[in-house]
Structure 1
Amino acid sequence: MNIESFIEHEKTKGELYNFCKFNRLPTGILLLGPEGCGNFKLGIKFIKKLLKIDILAHPDIHFLFPLPNLPKQKSNYFYNKWHNFLVNQPYGSLLDWKKTIHYENKDCKISLEQVEEALKMINLKSYELSHKVVIFWMLEHLNINAGNKLLNVLDSPPKRVLFLFIGENEKLILPTLKSRLLIINLKLISNKMIEKYLIRKFNLSQTKAQNIVSVSECNLNTIFKILNNNKNYLNINFIFWMRMLFNLKNKIDSLLRWGSKINSWNRDKNKSFLLFSLEIFRIAHRYKYDKNYINPFFDYKNFNWKQFCRYINTKKVSRINHLISDVIKGIDRYYFFLFHFLDLSFNINKILFNTQNL
C-alpha cells in the first residue's frame, strides 16, 4: 500500500502550510494527538513543504526519539533503524519502534545527550536549507534534565530554527515546556471519512471498510497494518482452521497446538486474522445466493469452496459474525487470548457443523 496516499487532516495541513506561505513560523510547534491520528505523518509533510525537499535525511534536520540507556557509541547504531522506521511506519507507535530495535521490554527516553547533540547542530551554519529543523518524536518521553535544557533554548531561540514536537499524551509533557509552544490538537479521523476513503481508494466493500474501522477504532496505525497483511498467509491459516473445526472431535490436540501458535502472535496480527475470517464468512454467504460471485481470496485447488459454502446460511453467519466481532473488540483487554480463541473455535464448530458434544 502506498503510504503517501493515506488520508490526512486537510484543514490543519492548510494552516501549517500557511506558516510557510506567509513566513510566520513560531519557534516551536507541538502536534498533539492520540496514536494513529497521523500527527507524525502530517509533521513530516509540513517540514518537506517548508524546506522544499523530498527526503528528510539531511544535515540541517535532526531527529530525537526515545532510545534505551546505552553508551553513545552504541546509540549511533539506531539511527539507520530510525530512518527505515520513518519511511515504513509513519503511523507507528512507541511499541512498534521498540520492537524494531528489539527493546520491547526496556524503558526508552529522549536523553540529555541527544538534546545537547541537537543544540550543537543548530549552532552550526546552515548547510543549504532555509531553516534548521529539530524534530522530537514522542515528546512525553523526554528526560527531565533534557527538558530543562531545552527550556533555556526556547526562551532565547536561535534565528531560522524550528522545533517540531510530536506527542500523544499531554499529561506527561512538562507544563513549562507546553507553555512555550504553539499546540495544535489533532483527533482521530472520523469513521465515516475513513470508510469512504477505504472504499474509494482500495476498492473495498462497505461492510469490510466498516469492519476495519470498527476493529481499528479509527487508528491509522492499526488500519495500515491490516491493509498490508499478506493475504496468502491469511488464506492458509483460515483453511487450516476450518479443516480442524470440520473434524474437531479427532483434532482437538491439533487445535490446542495451533491455538498456542495463534496465541503467540501480536495483537495486530490476531485482529487481522479474525477480521479476514469475518470477510470470508461474508463472502461465503453472498456466494450462497449468487453462484456467479467469485471469492477474491481463494485460488487453492485443494480447498473445496463450494462444499464449504454448503454449511453457510444467514442465521449461522449472523451468529458467527457476532462471536468473532466480540473477540476482536476484546483483544486489547485479553490477558490470555488462547482461552477466548479456543472458545470461539468450539462455538463456530457447533454452529457450522451442528455438533452437540465433542
Structure 2
Amino acid sequence: MNIESFIEHEKIKGELYNLCKFNRLPTGILLLGPEGCGNLKLGIKFLKKLLKIDILAHPDIHFIFPLPNPSSKLTDYFYKKWHNFLVNQPYGSFLDWKQKIHSENKDCKIYLEQVEDAFKMINFKSYELSHKVVIFWMLEHLNLNAGNKLLNVLDSPPKRVLFLFIGENEKLILPTLKSRLLIIKLKLISKKMIEKYLILKFNLSKKQAQNIVSVSECNLNTVFKILTNQNETNHLNINFIFWMRMLFNLKHKIDALLIWCSQINDWNRDKKKSFLLFSLEIFRIAHRYKYEKNYINPFFNYQNFNWKQFCRYINTKKVSLINHLISDVIKGIDRYYFFLFNFLDLSFNLNQILFNQIN
C-alpha cells in the first residue's frame, strides 16, 4: 500500500491526467491549496506522468523557489538543499524550507534573477523530453520585478514549455498573473482518509490515528512530522508533565524546579523554542477539551497523568495570560536574553495562574 492510494485528490488527479491524454495542456497551471494539502506532491506526480520519467533532476526541468536575497544564485548548495527537501519533505511548508537553508529570520523571495535564469534555459532546445518545464514553488513570494517579467513571457509563451505553479495563499498572488493560468484548487484531505491510511500503513489504533489527525488538523506536513518525530514528541510530553507536577506542588519542589530549569537552559535555542511552542499548544488543546469532551487528549498514552483533572485548571482568561507570558519568553530567546531567569519567572507565574485560583 502506498500513500498515493489515500491522500491524492483523485478527481483533480484525473483532471490533470486528462490534460495529458487529450493534449490540452495550457501554458501555465496553478495548483492552489493550503499548507499540507499535497499540491507539490501531486504536481510532481503529474509531471512524471506527463514527461514519462521517474525523477525530476533533469536538464529540461527547472525549479524556482524562494531564496534569502537576489544575489543568491542557484548554486549547487541551494539545489542540493532543494532536492533533499523534495525527497524528505514533499509536504513541507515555507517555514520548513527557510529553516533548511538557515534563513528563518530573512525575507525569502523569488527574484528577477532567478526568473531570467529559467527563461535562458527554456530558450534552448529540449534535451530529450517532450516539454521544457519550469516549476515555481510558493508563487505568492514572487517579487514585483519577477512578476512583471513572468507576465511578459506568459503573454507570448514559447512552444512546448509548461509552467507549473504551486501556491497556498491566493490573496497574495498577482491578479493579472492568476488570470493567465489554469487554476486548480485543492482542499485538505479528509479526516477519515488520513485516519484510514495511518491505521493501515503504520498499524496504529483508531484512537492513535484520531489523535494525530486532530492535532494536525488534517495538515499532511504536520501528520508526517508527528510520525517521524515520535521520540521528540515523547520527550516534550514527559518534560511538560514533569513541569506541571512541580508547579502544582511548588512549595515543596523549588529545589527540583531549579535543577530542572538549569537542564532546560542547556538546550539549544531551537529545542527551547520547540518546548515552549509545544506547551502553548497543550494549553490551547486543554482549553478546547474543557468545552468539547470528545476533543483530543494528547496524553492518552500516559496513564500516570490525569488529563481531565489538568483541564479543570484551564479557562479562557488563564490561556490568554499564559499565551502572553510564553510568547514573551520565546521572543527573549530570539533576542538572546538570559533564558534561565526568564524561564524561572515564567514557572512562578504559571504556578500562580494555574493553581492559585486566578479566575
TM (norm. structure 2) is: 0.75
What is aligned with 1:92? Answer: 92
In the alignment, which residue of structure 1 is the partner of 2:309? 319
Could you say which residue in structure 2 is the equivalent of 1:125? 125
The answer as to whether partners of 2:37 and 2:187 remain within 8 angstroms in 1 is yes
User: What is the aligned partner in structure 1 of residue 227 from structure 2?
Assistant: 227
| Unaligned 5+ runs, structure 2 | 247-251, 284-295, 331-342
Instruction: Quickly say closer, same or farther: Cα 1:72–1:229, change in 2 above 3 A.
Output: closer
Q: Deviations over 1:171-219 (max 9, x none)?
A: 1111111000000011111222222221222121222222212211111
1:254-301 per-residue CA deviation (whole Å, 9 max, x = no partner) reads: 3433555597233798379969xx97843354xxxxxxxxxxxxxxxx
**Contact 2:136/2:166, CA 8 A, preserved across alignment:** yes
| RMSD, aligned CA | 3.8
| Separation of aligned partners in 2, 1:124 and 1:333 | 57
What secondary structure is seen at the aligned counterpart in 2 of 1:128? Answer: coil
CA deviations on 1:151-176 (whole Å, 9 max, x unpaired) are 12111211111100001111111111
Q: Does 1:270 find its partner at 2:305?
A: no
- Cα deviation for residue 129 of structure 1 reads 0.7
Q: Does 1:253 align with 2:258?
A: yes
* Equivalent pair of 1:267/1:331 in contact (CA under 8 Å): no
Q: Partner residue of 1:306?
A: none
Q: 1:143 to 1:238 in 2, by over 3 A?
A: closer
Task: Give the match for residue 159 of structure 2.
Answer: 159
Q: Secondary structure at the match of 2:41?
A: helix
Change (3 A) 1:143 1:234: closer
* Residues 225 and 268, structure 1, Cα contact 8 Å, conserved in 2: no
The amino acid across from 2:183 in the alignment is I
Which residue identity lines up with residue 252 of structure 1 in the other structure? L
Q: Do the aligned partners of residues 267 and 209 (structure 1) sit closer, same or farther apart at CA in structure 2, a change above 3 Å counting?
A: farther
Counting only pairs closer than 5 Å after superposition, residues 204-215 of structure 1 correspond to structure 2 as 204-215=204-215
Shift in Å at residue 52 of structure 1? 0.9
Distance 1:140 1:239, change over 3 A: closer
Secondary structure in structure 1 of the residue aligned to 2:133: strand
- Residue 72 of structure 1 deviates from its aligned partner by 5.2
Structure 1 residues 205 and 174: alpha-carbon distance in aligned structure 2, compared to 1, 3 A threshold = same
Count how many residue pairs are aligned between Structure 1 and Structure 2: 318
**What runs of 5+ residues in structure 1 fail to find an aligned partner?**
286-308, 351-355
Q: Distance in 1 between matches of 2:75 and 2:212?
A: 37
Structure 1 counterpart of 2:48: 48
Secondary structure of 1:166's match?
strand
After superposition, residues 12-91 of structure 1 pair within 5 angstroms as 12-71=12-71, 75=75, 77-91=77-91
2:185 aligned with 1:185, yes or no?
yes
Separation in structure 2 between the aligned mates of residue 200 and residue 216 of structure 1, nearest angstrom:
18
TM-score normalised to the size of structure 1?
0.75
Between the aligned partners of 1:194 and 1:242, the Cα distance in structure 2 is 29
Q: Which residue identity is paired with 2:217?
A: E
Q: Is the 8 A contact 2:28 2:182 kept in 1?
A: yes
Contact 2:51 2:129 in 1 (8 A): yes
For the Cα contact (< 8 Å) 2:70–2:112, is it kept in 1?
Answer: no
Secondary structure at the counterpart of residue 125 of structure 1: coil
Letter paired with 2:300:
R
